[in-house]
Amino acid sequence: MKILILTHRVPFPQNGGYPIVVCNTIRGLVNLGHEVSLVALNAKKNHHHENTEDDDALLAKINYRAYDIDINVSVFEVAVNLLSKTSFNIDRYYDPAFERQLIAELKKTPYDIIQFEGLLVSLYLSAVRKNTKAKLIYRAHNIENQIWEMLSQQKSDPFKKSYLKMHAKRIKNYELQQLNNFDGIAVFTEQDKSTLLEYGTKIPIEILPVGINLDHYKPDFSKTEFPSLFFLGSLDWLPNREGIEWFLENFHKELTDGDLRVRFYVAGNDIPERFDDYEVMGKIFIQGEVDDALEFLNSKSIMIVPLLSSGGMRVKIVEGMAMQKCIISTSLGAEGINYDNGTNILIANSQDEFYEAIKLCITDEEFCKTIGLNARRLIEEQHDVNKVTVKLVSFYEKFI
């Protein structure tokens, strides 16, 4: 099959959940012998990046094109948007020049499948539909409006709460308008499928979990610091920022002067400068972006995922499990993963539950290793990219 993947960001380097999912999908499709093209919007702030050898190897096997787009919004534009019925968080990804180039690409190449990776590229759905006979698949990485609604619920400031709820409503209206205009939808979790059905979605929906290339995940415990506590994730994604702020506010004293005698490391992209205020020499380390995420994962022992508002499936948990990490997560953070609490992950949904889970883990290395080993087995059974991609292709074939 000839397959076109549309993304709202360049998925190189593979340093976050979205690019990891996109690239592993492409890798799986190529391994099965399909011809894959990737067209990516490239926000100018992300224009400069260095590819890894893995990136270059994948790029050599596909047709790839990136289109620069400026997604910055002025204060005036934000103010004007308050009078609109749409959300600038979506609208800023529309570029008429890119749309014209996309139409030219569609007229040149007869694709069988076009996959829209997330809601932001659905802005081009109408133009794509008019200029191709390909079947159009939407992959819902999250139910976007739910994230904004959950974020609003966490705010005590009336203005912030109202502002976030407004965007949640606008994004939901947009999602509802778009969903049934595709031919099929792929989601990561049963929860997301149920939500889309409740929204009145009539087209086929397939649950396909996150798939990863297990050959890349080879833990080396001789290089792992025990005990050590860590968070790894991009803080330009609001649920991550909200979750780690909650954790630092609630556990800063325990980690620096209390009973939790363990070093805590925070790593990831786009960490705001104000997070430096949380750093305490020898106890809390705000590291920012790391050169090698897997090396960082391997070097630490206990992973926390304190998500309070989210949806979809967290790729970092899948990666952590593949690296045999002992993971402490909220049930929301672990959504979509067929975990067994206390066997291959620890679920904590309150400050007290996080405290007890951390206390247990930092004092029992063998327990942590057992949790990690069971986690790896789960990923091998259910998240091998080659197995997941076979299911994705079977889903495609239903429409052709």
Q: What is the pLDDT of residue 45?
A: 55
Say if CB 368 and CB 358 are below 8 A apart: no
- Mean pLDDT, the chain, as a whole number? 92
Judgement on whether residues 260 and 162 belong to the same structural domain of the protein: no
Q: How many CB atoms lie within 10 A of CB 176?
A: 14
Judgement on whether residues 360 and 232 belong to the same structural domain of the protein: yes
Judgement on whether residues 30 and 157 belong to the same structural domain of the protein: yes
By residue count, the chain amounts to 400
Q: Which two tokens stand for residue 9?
A: 């960001």
Judgement on whether residues 256 and 133 belong to the same structural domain of the protein: no
pLDDT tens-digit map of 19-67: 999 999 999 999 999 999 999 999 865 445 567 788 899 999 999 999 9
Residue 171 belongs to domain spanning:
2-211+385-397
Q: What is the pLDDT of residue 164?
A: 87
Judgement on whether residues 18 and 138 belong to the same structural domain of the protein: yes
- Nearest 5°: CA angle at 247, between 246 and 249? 65
For the chain, percent of residues with pLDDT exceeding 70: 96
Judgement on whether residues 257 and 228 belong to the same structural domain of the protein: yes
pLDDT tens-digit map of 88-121: 889 999 999 999 999 999 999 999 999 999 999 9
Phi/psi at 275 (nearest 5 deg)? Answer: -70, -20
Mean pLDDT in residue range 365-372: 98
Q: Give the count of alpha carbons within 13 A of 278, CB side only.
A: 26
Is the pLDDT assigned to residue 369 strictly greater than 80? yes
From 38-42, 115-119, 165-169, 343-347, the region with the lowest mean pLDDT: 165-169
Q: What is the pLDDT of residue 141?
A: 92
Of 202, 197, 203, 208, which Cα lies nearest the Cα of 184? 203
Judgement on whether residues 203 and 329 belong to the same structural domain of the protein: no
What CATH number does residue 288 fall under? Answer: 3.40.50.2000
Judgement on whether residues 168 and 49 belong to the same structural domain of the protein: yes
Higher pLDDT, 369 or 270: 369
3-state secondary structure 55-94: HHHHHCCCEEEEEEECCCCCHHHHHHHCCCCCCHHHHCCC
pLDDT tens-digit map of 131-160: 999 999 999 998 888 878 877 887 888 888
pLDDT tens-digit map of 206-262: 999 999 999 999 999 999 999 999 999 988 888 899 999 999 999 999 999 999 999
Q: What is the pLDDT of residue 78?
A: 67
Of 248, 232, 347, 350, which Cα lies nearest the Cα of 287? 232
Judgement on whether residues 185 and 305 belong to the same structural domain of the protein: no
Tokens 């270059």 correspond to 56
Judgement on whether residues 202 and 330 belong to the same structural domain of the protein: no
Say if CB 102 and CB 127 are below 8 A apart: yes
CA distance 183 to 174: 17
CA distances from 86 to 118, 138, 213, 257 (A): 17, 20, 38, 47
399: which DSSP letter?
A: T
Judgement on whether residues 229 and 324 belong to the same structural domain of the protein: yes
Of 84, 92, 113, 150, which Cα lies nearest the Cα of 6? 113
Is 78 exposed, middle or buried, given 0-12, 13-18 or 19+ CB atoms closer than 10 A?
exposed
Q: What is the pLDDT of residue 47?
A: 46
270: which DSSP letter?
A: S
The DSSP element (H or E) to which 175 belongs, if any, is helix 158-179
The DSSP element (H or E) to which 116 belongs, if any, is strand 113-117
Of 361, 165, 330, 177, which Cα lies nearest the Cα of 246? 330
Q: How many CB atoms lie within 10 A of CB 47?
A: 10
As beta bridge partners, residue 3 has 36, 113
From 20-34, 127-141, 303-317, 370-384, the region with the lowest mean pLDDT: 303-317
pTM, two decimals, is: 0.88
Q: What is the pLDDT of residue 202?
A: 97
Structurally, the chain folds into a number of domains equal to 2
Q: Which two tokens stand for residue 210?
A: 């996150």
Judgement on whether residues 53 and 180 belong to the same structural domain of the protein: yes
CA distance 369 to 375: 10
Q: Which two tokens stand for residue 267?
A: 């790593």
Max CA pair span of the chain:
64
Q: Which two tokens stand for residue 177?
A: 């308008």
Q: What is the pLDDT of residue 155?
A: 82
